[in-house]
Amino acid sequence: MAVERQYSPLDKLLLQADTAARTLLPFSGQPARPSPAVLQPNADMSERDSRHAAGLMRINHTGEVCAQALYQGQALTATLPTVRNAMEHAAAEEVDHLAWCEQRIRQLGGRPSVLNPLFYGMSFGLGALAGLISDKVSLGFVAATEHQVCKHLDEHLQKLPAEDRQSRAILEQMRLDEAQHAEVALGAGGLRFAAPVKFGMSLLAKVMTTTTYRV
């Protein structure tokens, strides 16, 4: 029978610092899956369309930074090992999205948002707080967050330049993955949040998307 490894507080701190560095430093995340963009042709776009696509992908990249921090914060404070393992597994899958978005931003001539460290810290704190309240709340927060991400992805799929098939392929795969994460969280006993809570989360998301489109 496998025995779960026990980490000291210092071990946990170092692991969190390593994850934060791999999330925030350029080209640090190594995806387990190749980017869906590699199967799509590289279309010629105007400078304006390229800049617009880069802005949308920058928003999605920051969203993945937030997701990574959220999962790490929840894994730190989750009570049940199964919930903690689920958070860590989801975070590992989000690394793919993080790397894909960064690669595409660079290809479009852009760069990730300079506000990523701020949003990482905020999301980590929210995730840790949710985990402290209860695993049910923690899982519910994942589901609500992923549903919000899916909504943004749907909007961005409509706003992308028609020629940008590479960015579209990335967002479509992300949409499938995020929806699955939400269903897994609810299936594991996640709390379905009330409308006022979801509205508050959408307001916070609006701040993130508005600021990171350009910076």
Q: Who has greater pLDDT, 8 or 176?
A: 176
Nearest one of 196, 193, 195 to 182, comparing CA atoms: 193
- Whether residue 2 is predicted with pLDDT greater than 60 in this model: the reply is no
Nearest one of 156, 136, 135, 143 to 77, comparing CA atoms: 135
- The share of the chain scoring above pLDDT 70, in percent, equals 91
Q: Is 147 annotated as a binding residue?
A: no
- The share of the chain scoring above pLDDT 90, in percent, equals 43
The whole-angstrom separation of Cα 40 and Cα 60 is 19
Q: Who has greater pLDDT, 91 or 47?
A: 47
Q: Is 156 annotated as a binding residue?
A: no
- Whether residue 3 is predicted with pLDDT greater than 50 in this model: the reply is no
Q: Is 152 annotated as a binding residue?
A: no
**Alpha helices (H) in the chain, listed in sequence order:** 9-24, 47-77, 81-107, 116-133, 135-159, 165-187, 195-212
Q: Flag whether the pTM goes above 0.85.
A: yes
**Topology annotation, domain 46-212:** Ferritin (1.20.1260)
DSSP 8-state secondary structure symbol assigned to residue 38: G
The whole-angstrom separation of Cα 180 and Cα 147 is 10
The whole-angstrom separation of Cα 35 and Cα 37 is 5
- Helix, strand or coil for residue 192? coil
The whole-angstrom separation of Cα 143 and Cα 159 is 25
Confidence bin at 9 (pLDDT 50/70/90): low
User: Which amino acid is it at 67?
Assistant: A
- Whether residue 119 is predicted with pLDDT greater than 50 in this model: the reply is yes
The whole-angstrom separation of Cα 125 and Cα 129 is 6
Q: Is 183 annotated as a binding residue?
A: no
Cα-to-chain-centroid distance, residue 33: 16
Q: Is 61 annotated as a binding residue?
A: no
Q: Is 4 annotated as a binding residue?
A: no
The answer to whether the beta carbons of residues 190 and 128 sit under 8 Å apart is: no
* Domain extent listing, the chain: 46-212
